[in-house]
Structure 1
């Protein structure tokens, strides 16, 4: 595996691809697993996944922060960016920087698919049942509103401080931040397990094929 770190002088590795292969940047990727990809990205005949994470323990292709990827990830080099539950781990002032970086690395016609905790839904649950009553059961065990607000407590207790949360989002706030980062069209929606989803497009009028793919996978957005 060709690993690239912030101290490496080499440019990002370019893998041999089939002519129809699309490039996916998986940011905050965590340990390698196809289940960490959204269903639309799992077909390796279509998507070439490049994994990026700040934590070297998960053995990503690229080790760096999403806040500044300029030395390691060229502009206009990916067809899609997949960001699953990592935006909330940034400090609030870093979020616009990361979103601008996602926009920078996308090709014309590219898009970002993102999910993060749905803060208004979490707060509504706190008002009903309190901070510590489990809201749902995940593969990692029971998840309480306190975990969704501040990060998964058992993981943090075991020394994984990357799991701490430092900011939060509503659909309105997330949509505004994405538009301010330079995306031309942004759609958001709430979903089960207190997830807030967003899909953001670089090029105006380019959304329908992607929205159809997402809808077929069970993730429908309403314009």
Structure 2
């Protein structure tokens, strides 16, 4: 049987793409950037099976990461060495001119058939709430406490008041702007999904150009749009 249209030869081999689009695979490595404190449930369920090894990277040494580094300069990670990169609420913490650097780093460290999954606030959803006068209204509760639109726009106020300025937000995205940035960073295929229930955007990027059917399969297996995904960290 031939390859489905838009599906690269070997897509179901040992790779990040194959692992989330097929069945069982040998151990693969996901680079969890801006990982925060150790948490066995921080990754999406599809990336925390026995087939995946988590390599944790954070700029804050107090988080006890495997690698201490900024997401804009991950030179400690070799080119094309990761099967997947996962980033949950990191890009909004860097300045606008730094976001392309971070995305280029995510792309650089991926294997040719690897994938990048990232999560960030959806400014369109947050902006609508602000326009409705709900700037300070708690809209969900996290492990750090209640989160309001102002926290998602500028950073978690309680954490910053306690001295953790890593939580400051310096940037923001719409679905269109995130798509453009990921494409400009070198991802050949990009799918950005709005998730209003989480006030968030899910960006899925591939170094190789693949068909929409395979993208949809990866999204389904990763749980994008389903409750199994971890909640936003703020």
Q: Which of 126, 142, 147 is the equivalent residue of 1:143?
A: 147
Change (3 A) 1:102 1:206: farther
Cα distance between partner residues in 1 of 2:26 and 2:46: 15
SS in 2 for 1:34: coil
2:43 equivalent to 1:34: no
What are the ranges of 5 or more consecutive residues in structure 2 without an aligned counterpart?
Answer: 1-24, 227-234
Does structure 2 retain, via aligned residues, the 8 Å contact 1:171–1:188? yes
Q: Which of 198, 201, 210 is the equivalent residue of 2:203?
A: 198
Cα distance between partner residues in 1 of 2:212 and 2:78: 24
Report deviation, 1:128. 1.0
Matches within 5 A, 1:124-163: 124-163=128-167
Q: Cα RMSD between the aligned structures?
A: 1.7
Cα distance between partner residues in 2 of 1:78 and 1:207: 23
Q: Which of 98, 102, 105 is the equivalent residue of 2:102?
A: 98
Does structure 1 retain, via aligned residues, the 8 Å contact 2:123–2:172? yes
SS in 2 for 1:203: coil
Cα distance between partner residues in 2 of 1:209 and 1:63: 34
Query: For residue 14 of structure 2, what is the aligned residue in structure 1?
Result: none
Q: How many residue pairs are counted as aligned between the two chains?
A: 201
- Report the TM-score, using the length of structure 2 for normalisation: 0.81
Cα distance between partner residues in 2 of 1:124 and 1:53: 32
Report deviation, 1:68. 1.1
2:110 equivalent to 1:110: no
Change (3 A) 1:216 1:24: closer
Structure with the larger RCO, 1 or 2 (CA within 8 Å, 6+ apart):
2
Report deviation, 1:113. 0.2
